[in-house]
Structure 1
């Protein structure tokens, strides 16, 4: 074994720091969900404001991932990971101190930049430090960190919000970030690719504008109107800048922010689409499940977060199982199967009604949790495995970009769908027609945000009818939104089954594939299962 391939004593410290950073940044995607009612009340924010608390973070996380991967390959992965953790930590402190919804969203965007750096660089650091069977172990831990963070977010957020304040969901990052940066500086070794190309700033700017316009238009459309000049103009701008971005990338070739050569690999296209579409269904479901528990069943932040423990446990167990199956089961079975299980679980959310007991969510939490948990380590390993080690940072960044685009557009799109359904259902109700268009529309905005008390206070003599109609409209929209999330999961599963091939992996990743599997990842007919090569 060559010196550069020899196991490093620092590799376990690297795994610990990467897992911790990944846990923290993914936690900040889900921890906010349970605190939204408190944020809404504290900052007097609208439904669109609440969406931006999610999307400002997911948006910059998506935009800067590829650039971060490219910079890390050239400047040093440890160095940039440390910078990302510092940005994330300082922005977390600013989020906790925010005085209004606009400031909170702005600081969340900065926080997303730091998260993007960590999320893009982390898997590349693991790929550099771990090889062979140990790499599967490392990505099992990495995937578990992602899964537990998403699942435990509501519980941690509920605990901090109920016992202290919603601001502590951000303050908690500060001491953890300081400790992680100090340990990383002392214990993690550097790695880089001296042949990496300079950052593609033109591509970064055009991609940022295209994605930002897309998400902004989707979030604003329910209020502006889907066919309004502003909405259509933003969608048109998004399309134009996307075309310009692709033109720039094609001209730059290997120097591009997104190396289009990756997209000649069918499996790379497949895993990118699965990551994007699957996450577009998964993360919004957590957002709306939390909303159901608090706004329909009247739970506080702690009680709502506690109800997500079955999801946490399912994701943790499935993450360990899924990571252990990497290299033993074809990737298309692992990823296609995990997203299929997730989609089936999300369909069970349609069992929930206005007056259900919270246990009606258990089938969905457990089944979808198993799917989400098994998905994470497999996706991370496959995203790295399709590229040569020197380009692992860029490959990881591209895949994480697709994943976060899915989160950002999923929250915006499913949220817009939900808000439209609430408005339509409430306007069609007897009390909605009695109130008139303007008053019904204003009430629907409050119902979407869960502000039932405020809506009732403005309803006068119609208070009881408005609340009853609002709760019915909320549940109808909830069922529709969760069905949409499940459909996205089924689409992701179909893509996974049809497009992923083991033979598209780079040779460096094939060391984790046992000799009794052929290049397609199927059992070789001439070798008994488990036989030595």
Structure 2
């Protein structure tokens, strides 16, 4: 028994490393992109796909693999995901051109979508009571910390070696995870094994894929009328109407069909990809809504800040990563606080405290940003932001899954992970639009004041925006355009500042959305009889630790 107890916590370490693998990789590209552009000569369109292909596939497949894990084994699916992720990292590390790198990022998204929901469901099935709260705190703080360690690691590898090692580091980590999980993590699966809902799986992929595509690509192709025509080989988009409304329409139709199909199968007593009955649990339903809104702003600053630090202040990749380390330190400090608070303070209050800290941190960063800003005042605000991420992420997950039956943990964790990813995708789309639209507007106005012609103005604005700020250094190096470079730095700073404040606004909405969770949502806010009553309402086996009658 004692050996089993120790193995559970050792297993949590390897599960956390698996989470680190995908979180680091999703953030590491931010600081490595300039080096990738120089080495492979990829276009601005390819740059966008290198950054976004991963998110697109990741969000589209989360629900599918969460359900498959419940049937075929959570540990098994996670290990397959690690192998796929490591193998695709080899492809990325040796990519000879942008197309191959994008293909590798798509494959990494498949592997990542197998890893994240299974780590959550394994924790949900392995730990109980106060231990579960501590385990979720470790899981959540790992996400927050690795979101900052990714840029640091990527900056060091890119500066000291090559951007290719930013992907190559995943290979030894993958080997460590596979060996460690096989030795310390027990297999678990649902006792209600049934046939996979293939139609539901396909509809969920179409729904998530088309929605995320629309959210990410709206700024590129136009939200209504076409701004840039998509091209595939010799074929060019023929309509003046942008493809984005069609993507959103497809997402809506697929969502309606997905829900209708699920209700139909549920009435027939058949399994469904998404256990719709789980939404009868208030903590699960309201927690997913809150998680979506919170994710709109939670990692927005990681999108814009590295670009501003490198292209406006002139930091290299390593110095950018070192500055963002303050965020990681804050998140790890929060993990200790969250663990100590587990079982003593209702999780929803920890979530709210974390969101307040995030709002203060992100808004403070916005006030500091300027073309001649010092990095020193950024540190305390990034630390506070990291503190909030560490507190809010883990405990919100615990609130969402607190009353979910173990047999449905895979589908439930997949749902809440999808909620986060959809929120993050929307946040990237909106914050990217705020960043680059503001930059373009401010820079165009400044160039008009200098008396440049419309053609000259548009050419300079396009070069700065399309390169995500990378063209500023070229303008600065030429004495004839040095003054224009100053205008570009001011414009990009304004864009980054407004992106930060927009992120803070999303987080404020997320804070308000936690009101629906009640004053005591989570394990401490509800008595054991209530928890088991909800479990019985969705057909679950009551928790023997919570119900003394069992």
Structure 2 length-normalised TM:
0.85
The residue that corresponds to 1:499 in the other structure is 517
Contact 2:190 2:407 survives alignment (8 Å): yes
> Is residue 2:71 matched to residue 1:54?
no
* Post-superposition offset of 1:160: 0.6
The residue that corresponds to 2:362 in the other structure is 346
2:299 aligns to what SS in structure 1?
Answer: helix
Contact 1:198 1:255 survives alignment (8 Å): yes
Contact 1:152 1:308 survives alignment (8 Å): yes
The residue that corresponds to 1:202 in the other structure is 199
Q: What's the Cα RMSD here? A: 2.8
Alpha-carbon deviations, 1:318-348, whole Å to 9, x = none? 1221233232212221112211220121111
Contact 2:52 2:216 survives alignment (8 Å): no
Change (3 A) 1:227 1:434: farther
Contact 1:385 1:508 survives alignment (8 Å): no
2:377 aligns to what SS in structure 1?
Answer: helix
* Post-superposition offset of 1:359: 1.4
Contact 2:88 2:104 survives alignment (8 Å): yes
* Post-superposition offset of 1:91: 1.1
Would you say how many aligned residue pairs link Structure 1 and Structure 2? 508
Contact 1:338 1:493 survives alignment (8 Å): no
* Post-superposition offset of 1:437: 4.5
Contact 1:272 1:399 survives alignment (8 Å): yes
* Post-superposition offset of 1:473: 1.4
> Is residue 2:289 matched to residue 1:273?
yes
Change (3 A) 1:409 1:94: farther
Comparing 373-382 and 443-452, the one that deviates more: 443-452
The residue that corresponds to 2:535 in the other structure is none
**C-alpha separation between the residues in 1 aligned to 2:512 and 2:188?**
37
**C-alpha separation between the residues in 1 aligned to 2:45 and 2:493?**
19
**C-alpha separation between the residues in 1 aligned to 2:343 and 2:68?**
30
The residue that corresponds to 1:100 in the other structure is 97
Contact 1:160 1:169 survives alignment (8 Å): yes
Comparing 446-455 and 12-21, the one that deviates more: 446-455
1:31 aligns to what SS in structure 2?
Answer: helix
The residue that corresponds to 1:29 in the other structure is 26
> Is residue 2:28 matched to residue 1:12?
no
After superposition, where does 1:9-408 map in structure 2 within 5 Å? 10-228=7-225, 229-230=241-242, 231-253=244-266, 255-350=271-366, 351-408=368-425
Change (3 A) 1:317 1:501: same
**C-alpha separation between the residues in 2 aligned to 1:461 and 1:384?**
59
Structure 1 length-normalised TM:
0.88
The residue that corresponds to 1:471 in the other structure is 489
* Post-superposition offset of 1:47: 4.7
Contact 2:348 2:396 survives alignment (8 Å): no
Alpha-carbon deviations, 1:153-196, whole Å to 9, x = none? 11111111100111111100101102221232233221111313
Alpha-carbon deviations, 1:60-117, whole Å to 9, x = none? 2222222212111111111111111111111111111223333323211211221121
Change (3 A) 1:43 1:238: farther
* Post-superposition offset of 1:500: 4.5
**C-alpha separation between the residues in 2 aligned to 1:61 and 1:505?**
30
Change (3 A) 1:40 1:120: same
Contact 1:349 1:361 survives alignment (8 Å): yes
Contact 1:265 1:504 survives alignment (8 Å): no
Structure 2: runs of 5 or more not aligned: 226-240, 532-550
> Is residue 2:434 matched to residue 1:420?
no
**C-alpha separation between the residues in 2 aligned to 1:8 and 1:281?**
38
**C-alpha separation between the residues in 2 aligned to 1:202 and 1:462?**
61
**C-alpha separation between the residues in 1 aligned to 2:113 and 2:16?**
14
Comparing 447-456 and 496-505, the one that deviates more: 496-505
* Post-superposition offset of 1:31: 1.6
**C-alpha separation between the residues in 1 aligned to 2:415 and 2:251?**
19
**C-alpha separation between the residues in 1 aligned to 2:490 and 2:320?**
21
Contact 1:59 1:404 survives alignment (8 Å): no
**C-alpha separation between the residues in 2 aligned to 1:494 and 1:8?**
39
**C-alpha separation between the residues in 1 aligned to 2:415 and 2:518?**
17
